[in-house]
A and B are shown apart, each in its own frame.
Chain A
């Protein structure tokens, strides 16, 4: 009896641990955001906290008006710079995505015309089997190359 339970525990543990490896599919959509972008967003939040603190300190009489104005100006400038950086990095990210897509496309071995289709909307060349156009995002016709 105990042997049966032991085997049961062992097998189910092994199954649960090993399952994702044998399943071998793209396990989860990566919600990974651009790291630099994430950092910038945290910096932005830090500045926001600081501005909040600054207002509070001023209103509870811990800062002189001059200091308050000077610091606030400085923080706002800082926030502005960070926001600009965030914009830049978002733009970079989209271009980076394009580069990756292009690389993926070029990496697929010995591309022949048969392996590509053209987007019905914008005419971009796309890999056969892709569901969406990487440029305009339009749905691509699902043509199975085998047929």
Chain B
């Protein structure tokens, strides 16, 4: 079977090279059939990659340990769910998975553009194929997913830390976001290559952009959720280079998502949009390079193989190629229109863009600082989470303020008097809210600001929706609910966007809760208690269980009392696996809307003794749940924004 898998990869590599070159020849010679052949190639590549992915999946399910990748990432005891997710647990499989996504997206693009954008398609196909080549080259020469070994009795198993739902969904969603941005990038380059620099490419890739942005957001969020539940250090975001690597394209992608709206309406910012999409795509590749090359010290340890450098070469090619195209077209890209007023929605979008790109730059600088300082001063200097927090918190707050101001300002030109009038109510509401929040604001200026601005933003959005509904009720005489629904249906992007903004505010609230985190460590004898916040924890004993032959669990029982009332018996534990020499702490997390009680069994004397004294680390993390709820709300908003227009289909 593995031969067929290898053949499929090799064959797709050949065909990808073909479909990267042939459409260009087709354009030069005016031969439509070449382009059709390239389109067929896209289908064939997808078919081949689907076959090889199926073979790998089959090998996993069938426990075929003669394939090295299967032997290294699964074993006989691994449940089916995690066996399937082991597909993308390692480098080789994730490359194949990436390639699979790209090939399927390419098929969708070809089908979508069967009868339109015929001038773009040859270049789009070519650019997608070149990207595809990168992954196929890696899988053919450096990281062969179907490499054989002498089959061991049993596989080495999947790292227990990866056996978590968060880690099942985190890589696929993140990759979908990463791969998705290839499509707008390819169209942007196609528009530069054809010289048709209007808004066609932006309109064509609008949904792709929202789609990719959404999955990138969710990928990051799943990663954070996994870190919170599994890593057991009480937080979800540590500004590690790996996290920054996927945060940077998210920032520039968000900027791009907003600035294309101005180009659609005003035919402005063409150069800027080109730069943003190139930046976003480059950062997705850069992130992959960073995480797979080991150039930056990270607590996550990656393979330090040559794979990263393939991405670096590809990155350099992309940057040179794209910059050349942009510079070459710069005179045509210069827009005729100019901003009408500094108080206009356009300008608020522009400032939002500057801030987002600034945040991406700050994050980049901090992440790369060890390399930069070594190059300049010859000394390795690092910055940690304090740097990123210190820089990104004010930037984040400025951004949040803009989210609130934006709906108050009209496109093109807002009059100051109207702006003042619209500003008044949200301003008063947030001042009242701010005063009410004073007690918790003492000593937490940034947190207080964040809450106050959040109130402001929510008020403006609610008012905006309410006013729109009222306006509709007046003109059509509809009832409130009907007017609201038609209003949203008539303008899905606008209101989908507002819902996403509400989700973002909820996430800000969740993140701001971090300022009030409390943590405490204690070593308790059986029957002893500790208190933290409103909670009293009474240690009731330690037990050893063996649910499956390969795993032993040391479970501590803790009675949790809140304000004197017994609410739950918490069971934090430490798991010992036969396949892994290291124990893994399993957090007990009592999650509520107000706060999470997060208990880690940190240690107990080895060898194990029943009911021996044990050490616990306990966190009370306020408002964390709102971060995940915000993610859900963003999902709803994105869904609404992406809904197709039923009426007026052309």
Contact = CB atoms under 8 A, between A and B. Distances in A.
Interface of A: 2, 5-6, 9-10, 13, 16-21, 23-28, 30-32, 35, 38-39, 42-43, 46, 49-50, 53-54, 56-64, 66-67, 71
Nearest to B48: A13
B33 A38 contact: no
Given A6-B4, A9-B48, A42-B198, A49 B265 contact: yes
A17 B38 CA distance: 7
> Which 6 pairs between the two chains have the least Cβ-Cβ distance?
A57-B410, A64-B415, A62-B410, A59-B471, A20-B36, A60-B467
If over half of B's interface residues share one DSSP class (helix, strand or loop), that class is named, otherwise mixed; here it is helix
A64 to B, nearest CB: 4
Given A10-B11, A50-B265, A21 B33 contact: yes
A2 B3 contact: yes
A86 B481 CA distance: 40
Given A2-B3, A9-B4, A28-B36, 15 more contacts: A9-B48, A10-B7, A16-B43, A17-B40, A18-B37, A25-B33, A38-B198, A38-B200, A39-B199, A43-B198, A58-B410, A59-B468, A60-B464, A61-B418, A71-B412
8 contacts: A13-B48, A20-B36, A43-B198, A46-B199, A46-B265, A61-B467, A63-B415, A64-B417
A134 to B, nearest CB: 20
A77 to B, nearest CB: 14
B88 interface: no
Contacts of B266: 46, 50
A42 B418 contact: no
Contacts of B419: 62
A67 to B, nearest CB: 5
Most buried by A among B37, B419, B467, B471: B37
Contact of A62 (B40, B118, B265, B422): B422
B203 A13 contact: no
Interface in B240-296: 264-267
Contacts of A49: 264-265
Given A16-B43, A56-B468, A46 B33 contact: no
A65 to B, nearest CB: 9
A102 to B, nearest CB: 19
B413 A32 contact: no
Contacts of A26: 32
A18 B468 CA distance: 56
Nearest to B1: A2
Interface string B458-490: 000000100110010001000000000000000
B411 interface: yes
Contacts of B15: 13, 17
A108 B467 CA distance: 67
A5 B4 contact: yes
A23 B33 contact: yes
Interface residues of B, number: 52
Contact of B44 (A16, A25, A46, A53): A16
B468 A60 contact: yes
B411 A53 contact: yes
Contacts of A19: 37, 40
Most buried by B among A24, A46, A66: A46
A31 B115 CA distance: 6
B34 interface: yes
A19 to B, nearest CB: 7
Given A20-B40, A63-B418, A27 B119 contact: no
B119 to A, nearest CB: 7
Contacts of A17: 15, 18, 37, 40-41, 44
Contacts of B475: 59
Interface string B162-201: 0000000000000000000000000000000000101110
A89 B412 CA distance: 29
Contacts of A54: 410-412
A20 B33 contact: yes
B7 to A, nearest CB: 5
Contact of B51 (A9, A24, A25): A9
Nearest to B467: A60
Interface in B5-25: 7-8, 11, 15, 18
A57 B264 contact: no
Given A13-B44, A30-B32, A46 B267 contact: yes
B649 interface: no
A133 to B, nearest CB: 25
A21 B29 CA distance: 13
Nearest to B195: A35
B418 A62 contact: yes
A41 to B, nearest CB: 9
Interface in B105-163: 115-116, 118-119
B103 to A, nearest CB: 13
B601 interface: no
Nearest to B116: A31
Nearest to A18: B37
Nearest to A63: B410
B545 interface: no
